[in-house]
C-alpha cells in the first residue's frame, strides 16, 4: 500500500473532510500537524513548494494537492489506483 501523508491544522474543516474520505476507504496515513507552524510547516513548504494552505496530501512522496483535489481524484476514479485499492 502506498505511503499517504497529510499536513493538517487544528480546526480546519477541509482537513477533516480529506481525512474522512481516506478513513472511509480504509487507508492509513501519517498526519503532520502544522497548527503551531515551526518545523512541521517548514517541512510542508519544502516538500510542497508554494503550499500555503492545508491540507496538503502526498501519496508516495507525490503532492496531489488539498481536499478538493483529493475529492476530484475520487470522483474521476483516479484515487483508488493511487491508493492501491481495487476498483
For 18-29, what is the mean pLDDT? 97
**By the 8 A CB rule, do 32 and 44 touch?**
yes
Distance CA 64, CA 48 (A): 9
State the pLDDT at residue 67. Answer: 98
Complete domains list, the chain, with CATH:
4-82 (3.40.30.10)
Q: What is the CA radius of gyration of the chain?
A: 12
State the pLDDT at residue 86. Answer: 79
For 24-76, the pLDDT digits (tens) are: 999 999 999 999 999 999 999 999 999 999 999 999 999 999 999 999 999 99
Amino acid at each position: 500500500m502506498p505511503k499517504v501523508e497529510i499536513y493538517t491544522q487544528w480546526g480546519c474543516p477541509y482537513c477533516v473532510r480529506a481525512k474522512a474520505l481516506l478513513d472511509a476507504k480504509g487507508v492509513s496515513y501519517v498526519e503532520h500537524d502544522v497548527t503551531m507552524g515551526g518545523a512541521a510547516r517548514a517541512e510542508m513548504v519544502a516538500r510542497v513548494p508554494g503550499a500555503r494552505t492545508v491540507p496538503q496530501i502526498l501519496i508516495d512522496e507525490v503532492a496531489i494537492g488539498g481536499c478538493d483535489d483529493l475529492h476530484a481524484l475520487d470522483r474521476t476514479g483516479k484515487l483508488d489506483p493511487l491508493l492501491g485499492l481495487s476498483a
